[in-house]
Amino acid sequence: MSEKKPFYITTPIYYPSGNPHIGHCYTTLACDVVARMKRMQGFDVMFLTGTDEHGQKIEKKAQEEGVTPKEYVDVIVENFKKLWSRLGITYDRYIRTTDDYHIESVQKIFKKLYDDGYIYKSSYKGKYCTPCESFWTESQLVDGKCPDCGREVTDAEEEAYFFKLSQFGPRLKELLLDEEKDFLEPKSRVNEMINNFIEPGLQDLCVSRTSFTWGIPVTFDPGHIVYVWVDALSNYITALGYMNETYDDYKKYWPADMHVMAKEIVRFHSLIWPAILMALGEPLPKKIYGHGWITFGAAGGKMSKSAGNVVDPFVLCDRYGVDALRYHLLREMPFGADAPYTNEMMFNRINSDLANDLGNLVSRTVAMAIKYFDGTLPAEKDFNDSDEELLGMASALPAFVSENYESLHISDALAEIFKVISRANKYIDENEPWVLAKDETKKGRLAAVLYNLLDTIRVCTILLSPVMPHVTPEIFKQIGADESCTTWDAASLRHALKADVTVEKGPVLFPRIDTEKELAELDALSPKKDLPSEPLKDVTDFDNFAALDLRAVKVLSCEKVPKSDKLLLFKVDDGFGERQVLSGIAQYYKPEELLGKTLAMIVNLKPRKMMGYESCGMILSVRDGDRFRVVEFDDSIKPGSDIS
């Protein structure tokens, strides 16, 4: 058995209703920093993330695309995983709420709560916000609209099961006010929960639905599916094997050390989730952290897919480096507050902190060690009291950084590390190594100055490694720090580098960004701001292009596919005969507008079934702002003419 202490940290499970964006990146990165640090500190870490794949919104999206909900989420889940891999996220487990073991556990949890009298059947009448999948009471609405997203709500009534949340008010209040437990951070949210939800009286919670089918069936009442929050919140324990045989980690890791999320779902995690656990008789998580939002644009709205303001994190990683993006997002967001994102702010941050301060400190110090000592410092050094300020600052860092990373004040921790980096740059100017180098009798002092600098860089680099894990090994290499002095514990040691350390010149750590030029290039990458274009794809062989058979085709008939908002069903003449094809352009054209037109089409794609119809090929269209237009030819072009 391992003797390491367990540490369990979770992100929310994200909705795969669209691809992940920078907002999702922030939470996942913050958890990654804590997970990496705790591993370095010798903990046995379980870092869980995943996707929340059921619900009406996903069902609707899939229908619009003409695919099944599972087919729809499978594609997006792959994109989440690809992004986490690109960002170097070291999650230990990825849960999908469509996984069999999760479904099995949720069904058992629901049944147990029902058998124990915490769930009962009734009928629900209330205000329902479809995009948020939330019921609200009249008093919670803001100007008659959803308090979370500001959209219209509708009256809804249906037979449903309810969880007796109302009876947990006093226990939840006690939990939130328990100063020793410090259950919810930041503190401001504690008052919000108590004043807005507990004091007015908690409502029982609707936990099943009959109006859609994409969810986990209630085993003892066909037609009902488990409503989103019981399904979603349970992931934190089902992923450990609670009420299933797939995993056997519940005893070891539960209760979680921290659940991390943004403020809009703190309510669900600090009220509903503890109440469910109380009803199950299970221990409660130790901490809930609700951070602010990354906002975007002048209006300062939450970055979201529906607002169409998403900056592609893959593009940012490819152009500016993964660690630069990690650093920027984590540095910019003070815990608990919102932080705007702009490309310009990111470039300024990279240039000032990473290129100027850190990058320069490392390259100047290494260059001087090479210039004055051929890269290897002499063992004899002349330290003196004036070194104490810099070394004292570095010694105080590890405790401050550990505490602040763990309490998610990552930005404060980074600010403190960069204060030491700035102080080290100033130390160079104060000690003027280039003057010391001219005097043979000052060689010992010169060696001490360079050694203090290298050792300070070592300490800062260890503490930066959970945030910038890809570039920090390169810094260690350049300053000659081997494994023995780069552990987390070694950050607390003074002068842990070998006395006769050898440095090595290496590549530029953080190239400076030409802000004007990059802004223009990013702008050019997204010509129409109202609908972002796909990023350019990788270069491909001519053979791949030649394998496609592109032809002009004439539209013989065109009609809407029943129950689909997107799909049009075509019969076309391809010059050799008639074929059937579907195209997702129903929002942009009435069927009769396309009748008789000659269009461009790929005719040799493998046939694919959508909404029960076989589609043999693909009609080509071009993005035009927020719509698509078919590529068409005039009547003189014969059906079957090849396009090259």
Whose Cβ is closer to ligand ME8: residue 302's or residue 326's?
302
How far, in Å, CA of 463 to CA of 431, rounded?
25
- Shortest Cβ distance from residue 422 to ligand ME8 (Å)? 29
CB of 297 to ligand ME8, least distance (A): 12
Q: Kindly tell me which of 24 and 349 has the beta carbon lying closer to ligand ME8.
A: 24
Strand 598-602, strand 608-610: pairing: unpaired
Radius of gyration of the chain, Cα coordinates, nearest whole angstrom: 29
Instruction: For the CB of residue 191, give the shortest distance to ligand ME8 in the complex, in Å.
Output: 20
Kindly state the smallest distance separating residue 32's Cβ from ligand ME8, in Å. 13
Q: Would you say 23 or 321 has its CB closer to ligand ME8? A: 23
* Helix, strand, coil content of the chain in percent (nearest 5): 45, 20, 35
Residue 234 CB, nearest approach to ligand ME8 (Å): 8
Compare residues 80 and 405 and give the one whose CB is closer to ligand ME8. 80
- The residue whose Cβ lies closest to ligand ME8 is 23
Which DSSP string do the residues of 497-562 spell out, in sequence order?
Answer: S-TT-B------SSPPP-HHHHHHHHHHH-S-TTSPPPPPPPP--HHHHHTS-EEEEEEEEEEEPT
Q: Which is nearer to ligand ME8, 285 or 321 (CB)?
A: 285
Instruction: Rank residues 421 and 467 by Cβ distance to ligand ME8 and give the closer one.
Output: 467
- Smallest gap from Cβ 239 to ligand ME8, in A, equals 11
Of 262 and 362, the one with the shorter C-beta distance to ligand ME8 is 262
User: Min. distance of Cβ 338 from ligand ME8 in angstroms?
Assistant: 8
* Residue ranges in 561-616 assigned as alpha helix (H): 591-594
Q: Please, what sign has the CA dihedral across residues 537, 540, 542, 544?
A: negative
- Minimum gap (Å) between residue 537 Cβ and ligand ME8: 26
Instruction: Give Cα 229 to chain centroid, integer Å.
Output: 20
Nearest CB to ligand ME8, comparing residues 105 and 235: 235
Smallest distance, Å, CB 100 to ligand ME8?
Answer: 19
DSSP state of 268: I
How far is the CA of 286 from the CAs of 184, 239, 310, 482, in angstroms? 9, 17, 33, 37
Q: Show the tokens assigned to 122.
A: 């009734």
Please classify residue 535 by burial: count the beta carbons closer than 10 Å to its beta carbon, then call 0-12 exposed, 13-18 middle and 19+ buried. Answer: exposed
- Residue (233 or 558) nearer to ligand ME8, CB: 233
CB 277 to ligand ME8: min, Å:
13
Output the CA–CA distances (angstroms, integers) from residue 428 to 108, 352, 374, 449, 498, in the order listed: 65, 18, 19, 8, 21
Q: How far apart are CA 95 and CA 117, in angstroms?
A: 29
Three-class SS state of 406: helix
C-alpha–C-alpha distance, residues 399 and 37, integer Å? 12
Nearer to ligand ME8, 229 or 451 (CB): 229
- Rounded to a whole number of angstroms, the minimum distance from the CB of residue 132 to ligand ME8 is 9
What letters, b where the CB count within 10 A reaches 16 and e where it falls short, cover 87-121? bbbebbebbbbbbebbbbbbbbbbeebbeeebbee
Q: Is the dihedral of CA 557, 560, 561, 566 positive or negative?
A: positive
CA distances from 440 to 238, 382, 437, 629 (A): 69, 13, 7, 76
- Strand (E) or helix (H) holding 72: helix 69-86
Q: Which two tokens stand for residue 298?
A: 């002048």
182 versus 264: smaller Cβ distance to ligand ME8: 264
Query: By C-beta, is 23 or 313 nearer to ligand ME8?
Result: 23
Q: Which is nearer to ligand ME8, 328 or 554 (CB)?
A: 328
Q: Which is nearer to ligand ME8, 265 or 355 (CB)?
A: 265
Give the helix/strand (H/E) hosting 258.
strand 258-262
Cβ proximity to ligand ME8: between 261 and 358 the closer is 261
Point out which residues bind ligand ME8 (CB under 6 A).
12-15, 23-24, 26-27, 52, 232-233, 235, 261-262, 264-265, 293-294, 302-303
Among residues 600, 592, 607, 602, the alpha carbon closest in space to that of 629 is found at 600
What is the CA 476 to chain-centroid distance, rounded?
28
Residue 505: burial class (beta carbons within 10 Å; 0-12, 13-18, 19+): exposed
Q: Which is nearer to ligand ME8, 173 or 291 (CB)?
A: 291
Q: Distances from the Cα of 87 to the Cαs of 81, 316, 318, 346, 468, in angstroms?
A: 10, 11, 11, 16, 10
**Shortest distance, position 263 Cβ to ligand ME8, whole Å:** 7
Q: How far is the CB of 97 from ligand ME8 (least distance, A)?
A: 9
Within 10 angstroms of residue 11's Cβ, the number of other Cβ atoms is 22
Q: Could you tell me the smallest distance in angstroms from the CB atom of residue 211 to ligand ME8?
A: 19
Query: What are the tokens at 325?
Result: 């993006």
State how far the Cα of 69 lies from the Cα of 58, in Å rounded to an integer: 6
Q: What is the closest distance, in whole angstroms, from the C-beta atom of residue 148 to ligand ME8 in the complex?
A: 10
- State which amino acid sits at residue 278: M
Least Å distance between CB 588 and ligand ME8? Answer: 28
Backbone angles phi, psi at 642, to 5 degrees: -85, 145
For the CA atoms of 629, 635, 640, 644, the dihedral, rounded to the nearest 10 degrees, stands at: -60
